[in-house]
Structure 1
């Protein structure tokens, strides 16, 4: 029993360490070396693309929650869920933007300047495509999926959401990630389809980019 518990902890901690080393530390190193020449967002994109490979391998080898057959009713239900999660993300973004927290968070200002350091197409590829796929593979596909199988959907949503908040490294994005993470996590454990999380997360970021 103790061995099973240890293995479960490792299966959660290991992908988080890969994400932290390859993506977060990797992007920081690239920015220190090359940001002046190619821009901070390009550095972030390169690190994210490199991290996608080991994350996909880990995801493919992880236990997964299996969805039911996708029929017409399931497609309609899936789209309603995606729209709901997008609404949660957009409304949360609006509230936090006008809350005054942004002005008090130095780390948020740094993160925001990095995410906006490039042209429209670069921001779309990085922030609305690559990063959502990377984060959803890790948080919902690997972490929430395994926790749901081991302990149940509530524990899966709560613990994966806390991790999702922590990886954003500042109070503004932590609050935002917790709110959106609950919605994404609930959608995933209910529907068991990771593509819905990719779609919702990407469209939330797309809307934020277009209206910023």
Structure 2
């Protein structure tokens, strides 16, 4: 039993370490080397693309939630409603935080926002609405939430993975937003077991923030 617990801890910790060393440190190194010349968002895009590779390999080899086959058009409609509802929740959270006063008082958020907005519309869409959502959903929902759900049930899985999701964002504003958004995405994932739904929702959430932020 002790060995099982240790193995489970390792299976949760090492994907986070891979994300930290490949993506987070990769971004830092790229910002120092090419950030001034090619833009900060380019550094995120490169590091994100590189990190997706090991993250997908890990996801492919860990225990995961297996969705049921799609049987009819009604089921597709239900999935679409789930995605739209999750996006709507995230948009409302974004609006609430924007008007809370926390945004103006958080230096960490200002730094993060300066990186996420340092590029043209195409670069923002490629990075923030495609690469980063795929990377984060592979890690947070596909690997963490899926395994935790199989081992401990849906509630601990959603709570723990959402907190981890918040911690990855390194500032109080994004921590609060990521925890709540992560809970919505995690809930959708454990109910439907479809990682593609989480990726699509995450992409749309970020796209909405870019277009209307």
Q: TM-score, normalised by structure 1?
A: 0.99
Q: Is 1:31–2:31 an aligned residue pair? A: yes
Trace 1:32-51 onto structure 2 (pairs within 5 A): 32-51=32-51
Q: What is the aligned partner in structure 1 of residue 14 from structure 2?
A: 14
- The separation in 2 between residues aligned to 1:47 and 1:107, in whole angstroms, is 20
Q: After the TM superposition, which residues 156-167 of structure 1 pair with which residues of structure 2 at under 5 Å, given as runs? A: 156-167=157-168
- Mapping of residues 97-176 of structure 1, within 5 Å: 97-176=98-177
Distance 2:196 2:119 in 1: 27
CA distance in 2, matches of 1:37, 1:59: 34
In 2, Cα distance between equivalents of 1:7 and 1:102: 39
CA distance in 2, matches of 1:192, 1:144: 10
The aligned runs of 1:31-110 (5 Å cut-off) are: 31-71=31-71, 72-110=73-111
Shift of 1:123: 0.1
CA distance in 1, matches of 2:5, 2:45: 35
- Unpaired segments ≥5 residues, structure 1: none
What is the root-mean-square deviation of aligned Cα atoms in Å?
A: 0.7
Where does residue 193 of structure 2 map in the other structure?
A: 192
Shift of the alpha carbon at 1:27?
Answer: 0.2
1:77: Cα distance to partner?
1.4
SS at 1:95 equivalent: helix
State the shift of 1:211 in Å.
Answer: 1.0
| d(CA) in 1 for partners of 2:147, 2:125 | 30
Scaled by the length of structure 2, what TM-score is found?
A: 0.98
Deviation of 1:81 after TM superposition, in Å, equals: 0.7
Q: CA deviation digits over 1:118-154, x for unaligned, max 9?
A: 0000000000000000000000000000001011001
User: How far 1:28 moved relative to its partner?
Assistant: 0.7
Three-state SS of the structure 2 residue aligned to 1:198 is helix
Deviations 1:54-95 (A, max 9, x none): 000000001111111212232121111101100011111111
Once superposed, which parts of structure 1, at least 4 consecutive aligned residues long, lie more than 6 Å away? none
